[in-house]
Structure 1
Amino acid sequence: MIVAFGTYDAARHPRAGILVAGLRAHGREVVEVNRPLGFTTAERVRMLREPWRLPVLLVRMLTCWARLTAAAVTLRARRGTPAAVLVGYLGHFDVLLARVLYPRTTLVLDHLVFAADTALDRGARGLRVRVLGLLDRAATRAADVVLVDTAEHLAMLRDPGKGVVVPVGAPDAWLAAGEPDAAAAGPADGEPLRVVFFGLFTPLQGAPVIGAALTLAAAAGTPLDVTMVGSGQDLAATRAAAPSGTAGSVRVTWHEWIDPAALPGIVASHHVCLGIFSATPKGLRVVPNKVYQGLAAGRVVVTSDTAPQRRALGEHLELVPPADAAALAARLAELADPARYAAAAARARAGRDEVRPAVVVAPLLGRLAASLGSAAA
C-alpha cells in the first residue's frame, strides 16, 4: 500500500492526481489521506508576498493537519504501516508532518515547485527568498525521494541523488477531451485559426510576448480567433501589448476565470494551445502543465524552444525562440495554412501517449522498486 498524503488539491493542481492515477494504472494500491488546504497557487504566493496574511494560512493548515493526523492514525490501525508515503504537490510543510507520522517509512516528496525560485520569478527579493530557500531545503531533507520534473530542477537539489525526474503529464480528463478530435483538420475555408492560452500570467509564462505577437499577426493579416484565459501580475501588460477586441484579422476574447472542469473541453475546441514564451531563468527550466495538457487534448502546441521542452517532447511541439514575438507571430501564420497545420497536428497527436499518467510515472515506479523491492512497490 502507498499512501498519498497532504493538503494537495488535485482539482486545482492536477499533478497529485496524475501520480495517483499512474500508480494505480500499474496495479499499485494507493490510499489517499488528503485534506485540501483550499488556497489557489496565486493566493499562496500572495501570502508569501504579504506576510501579514500568513496567520490565515497557519490556521487553515493546522486545521487540515489535525484532520490528516487523525486519518493517518486510523488508517495505520486498520491497515498497518504503508510501504511508502507520497506527499503531494505544494507539500513543503506537509512533508514535515509526514516525517513525524511516518518516521521509518520511505517518504516521497513531489517537489514540483521550489518556493524560493518561484518567489524570485515573481519579483520577491532579500530575506523572504532566503527564508523560502530554507523551507525548500528543510522539505527536501525530510524526504527520502524527491520528485522533480526536469533535469534542470534536479540539478538544483542539495542532494541530486535523492531526486527522480518525473514529467508532469496530463490528467485523463484532458486525454478524454481530445477524443474525438473535432479540430484535427484545422480551420475550414474562410475560418480563422482558433488559438487558446490559459495560465496565471506569471513572468515565466511570458504572456506579454503573446500580446505583442497577436498585434504583429493583426498587422500581417493573419486570421486568428484567440481566447486568453486567466489573470495575474502580467495580465495588464499582456492586454496592453495585444490588439483590442477585433483588430483587423485578429479577434481576442479575454476570460479571467473558467471552471477547471470545463477547461479541457474548451482547449480541445481550439486548433492551437499556447505554452510559455519568456526567457527568465525559471522559464528556461520548466515544461509547463499547459504543454502536456494541450498535447493530451490533441492540440497543436506552440511553445518556447528551451532545453527541457525540446528534450521532453520536442518532436511533438512547435518550438519558437523564447521572448521572440515576431517568431511566434510567424509560426501562427504558418499554422493558418491548412497543409502546415495538418502536419503539425499529426506530430502533436503522436505525442499524446507520452503524457499519460501511466507513462510519466514510470521513473517513480523504478525508484520505488529499487528502494522497497518490486513486490512492496
Structure 2
Amino acid sequence: MGVAMPRLVTTDSDRNVVLLGDYDYDYPREKLLRRGFEGADASVIECRFSETSRFISLTKLLLLPLFLVRIARRMREIRASGVDVDALVLTKFNPLLLPAAAYYAWRLDCPLVYDLFVSLYRTAEMRDVHPTIVSGLALLERVTLRLPDYHLVGTDQFIDLYSDMYGIPKSRFVRLPPGADGDWFYPREDVEKRDTFTILYWGNFLPHHGVGTIVGAAAELRDDPYEFVFLGSGPEQERYREMCDELALPNVRFEGFVPREDQQEWIASSHVCLGVFADDPRTLASITNKVSESVASKKATLTEESPAIDAWFEHGESVYTVPPEDPVALADAIRTLDADRDLIERLEAGGYAVYDREFDVEAIAGILDEHLFGSRA
C-alpha cells in the first residue's frame, strides 16, 4: 500500500517548508522539527515517502526506486501549486536521498537543509556492522553531505566533529538542540517518588551510552538501599542483563520496552534519571535525548561531564556530572544525591529552567527563524 500524500493546505503564512523524508511522528525529532517550523510561522508541506523511518539497510535500498517515484509525484504537485518554498528539509538517516533532494531544492529555488541527527557511518561502526559496509557509508556521507546548504546538529561540539570529518565549512551548520516531546516529557510533580531511592535509565542500550558504567556503579552499591531500573531494549541489553546476573546484583531490574504511559510513571516516581557515561567522541559531543527528556520532566539528571553538557548546564545547579566511564564516581554521586534531597530539588528546578529557556519548542522555533528565515524576513 502506498503512502497517502497530503494535499497542500492554503494558509496565511508567507513561509513554506517542504519536509521530505521517511518519518514517524511518534519519534520526537520530526515532531520537534515540525512544531519548530510552525512556531516560526512557517507552513509545513509534507513530502513523506514512507511512514517508517529506516536506517540504511538492504530493505531501504530495494525500496529506493519506489521512494523516488513517490517523491517525484509529490514534488510535481508542490511545483504545480505555485507555492513559494523557503526551504526543503530532509529528515535524518537519508544520505542516499541527498542527491534527489538537492535536485528538487534547485527546482524549487530554495535552500536544502539536512537533519544530520547522527553520522550513519559512526553509528554502524559502533554497532559492529561489517567493515566493508562501514567504509561504504563513510564514502557515501563524505560525498553527499557536501550537497546541503545547511546541516542541523545538536551542539557546537558536533559542528566541530562533523566539520573535521567531512570537510564542511562550519558556517553551513545550524546548532539545534535535541529538545523533547512535550506531549510526553513534562513535570509530573503530583506523582509521589518511590519509597526506595530509584535511579532510572531509559534508552536503546547502545555502546556509546556507557551502560556498563551504570552496571559498575550498581555493583559498588549492591549493599546500599538503592534500585537501578532499566527501560527499553537494544543491541546490548542482553549482555548487560547477563552481566548483572553474573554479578548477582540484587539492586537492578530490567523492565524492557514499556508503553509511554508507564515510562512517564517511572520517570515521575524515580529520584534520579541517568544520561550517558561513555568516553566516546560522539557521546562527549552530545547532550542526548535522555538528558533533554529528563530535564523537560523536571528531574534530577546525572550524566557524564563533557564540553557539550558544560556548554548548556552547570554542575550542581542544573545537572550533576561525573567523569566518563567511572563507576566509582557515579556510585559516589548517587550517595551524595541521596544524602542531600535539597540538592535534588535544586537540580530539578535548575535543569527545567535550562530546558524552558533553551530547549523547548519556542526556543527551537527561534533558532530556525533566525538561521533559515532571517535573511528572507
- TM (norm. structure 2) is 0.84
Task: Give unpaired runs (5+ residues) of structure 2.
Answer: 1-15
For 1:70, what is the secondary structure of its paired residue?
Answer: helix
Aligned equivalent of 2:26: 11
CA distance in 2, matches of 1:214, 1:91: 38
Aligned equivalent of 1:29: 43
CA distance in 1, matches of 2:347, 2:149: 41
Question: Which deviations, in whole Å up to 9, do the C-alpha atoms of 1:226-265 show, x marking residues without a partner?
Answer: 32112233323422443689956x3x32133223575445
CA distance in 2, matches of 1:273, 1:117: 26
Question: Is 1:149 the equivalent of 2:161?
Answer: no
CA distance in 2, matches of 1:131, 1:206: 27
CA shift at 1:301, angstroms?
Answer: 1.1
Compare 17-26 and 265-274 and name the one that shifted more. 265-274
CA shift at 1:148, angstroms?
Answer: 1.2
CA distance in 2, matches of 1:98, 1:261: 37
- Of 331, 334, 345, the match for 2:336: 334
Question: Is 1:297 the equivalent of 2:302?
Answer: no
Return closer, same or farther for 1:62/1:317 CA change in 2, 3 Å cut-off. farther
Alignment of structure 1 residues 265-284 onto 2, 5 Å: 265-284=265-284
Aligned equivalent of 1:51: none
Question: Is 1:217 the equivalent of 2:221?
Answer: yes
Alignment of structure 1 residues 94-243 onto 2, 5 Å: 94-103=97-106, 104-124=109-129, 126-155=131-160, 156-157=162-163, 158-159=167-168, 160-175=170-185, 177-178=186-187, 180-182=188-190, 191-219=195-223, 221=224, 223-242=225-244
Q: Retained in 2: the 8 A contact 1:203–1:280?
A: no
CA distance in 1, matches of 2:201, 2:227: 11
Q: CA RMSD in A?
A: 2.5
Aligned-partner residue type, residue 181 of structure 1 = E
Compare 230-239 and 84-93 and name the one that shifted more. 230-239
Aligned-partner residue type, residue 296 of structure 2 = A
Return closer, same or farther for 1:263/1:68 CA change in 2, 3 Å cut-off. farther
Aligned-partner residue type, residue 19 of structure 1 = L
Aligned equivalent of 2:3: none
Runs of 4+ in 1 over 6 A off after TM superposition: 243-246
For 1:228, what is the secondary structure of its paired residue?
Answer: strand
CA shift at 1:347, angstroms?
Answer: 2.1
For 1:9, what is the secondary structure of its paired residue?
Answer: coil
Return closer, same or farther for 1:6/1:262 CA change in 2, 3 Å cut-off. farther
- Of 360, 363, 371, the match for 1:359: 363
Count of aligned pairs: 351
CA distance in 2, matches of 1:226, 1:367: 42
Aligned equivalent of 2:311: 311
CA shift at 1:211, angstroms?
Answer: 1.1
Q: Retained in 2: the 8 A contact 1:212–1:241?
A: no
Aligned-partner residue type, residue 238 of structure 2 = A
Aligned equivalent of 1:50: none
Question: Is 1:288 the equivalent of 2:288?
Answer: yes
CA shift at 1:114, angstroms?
Answer: 1.1
CA shift at 1:141, angstroms?
Answer: 1.6
Task: Give unpaired runs (5+ residues) of structure 1.
Answer: 48-53
CA distance in 1, matches of 2:211, 2:280: 12
Q: Retained in 1: the 8 A contact 2:155–2:177?
A: yes
Aligned-partner residue type, residue 28 of structure 1 = A
Aligned equivalent of 1:86: 89
- TM (norm. structure 1) is 0.84
Question: Is 1:68 the equivalent of 2:57?
Answer: no
Aligned-partner residue type, residue 327 of structure 2 = A
CA shift at 1:163, angstroms?
Answer: 1.1
CA distance in 2, matches of 1:146, 1:39: 19
CA distance in 1, matches of 2:130, 2:285: 20
Aligned-partner residue type, residue 349 of structure 2 = A
Compare 3-12 and 142-151 and name the one that shifted more. 3-12
For 1:226, what is the secondary structure of its paired residue?
Answer: strand
Compare 133-142 and 118-127 and name the one that shifted more. 118-127
Q: Retained in 2: the 8 A contact 1:208–1:237?
A: no
